[in-house]
Structure 1
Amino acid sequence: MADIPDELIKLERSAVEAHAKLPGLDGEAYDVQWKAWRTAAEDFQAAVTAYAAREDVAMSRCEVEQVVKRAVRHPQPEG
């Protein structure tokens, strides 16, 4: 797997965790959590865009996003 910054992993984890809290909520509680999820997702997307724009990064923006999401959602066992 490509060497990706821990910060991108943390931001995606935050977005995934915020999204996981949505089911079962309604009304104002849902609205508050939805905004938290949206903010976390926007922060992740902005960080991916900035990282992919660096001259020392050979992957496209899409590839960076896919690698990070795969690492968070389907972690490989260490060993």
Structure 2
Amino acid sequence: MADEQVDEAAGRARLVELKLASEAARVEAQQGPYSAEQWRPWLEAAAAFQEAVTAHAEQYGLENRFELEKDVVTRALHPAPAEA
């Protein structure tokens, strides 16, 4: 794999981590009664994820940012079973 492909794959792995952090913050926010302060960590994590997806798409010249986000969300929330 070329260096740029390795870098791009590592970037996608980082995006998966950001998405998982956002989901964890959402679950935490849902544990108590609604308040803006309770949801602030999720809002910040979700914004960080969206900004990172946009930056990644721009950095690697991806024409369809939506497809990148869809791929990352699928990897984060519906990972393929580990091969034996």
Aligned length: 74
**Residue 49 in 1 paired to residue 47 in 2?**
no
Computed over aligned residues only, the root mean square deviation of the Cα atoms, in angstroms, reads 1.8
Gaps of 5+ in 2: 1-8
Q: Helix, strand or coil for the counterpart of 2:82?
A: coil
User: 1:19 touches 1:37 (CA, 8 Å); kept in 2?
Assistant: yes
Moved beyond 6 Å, runs of 4+: none
**Match of residue 19 from structure 1:** 26
**Match of residue 6 from structure 1:** 13
Instruction: Flag the structure with higher helix content.
Output: 2
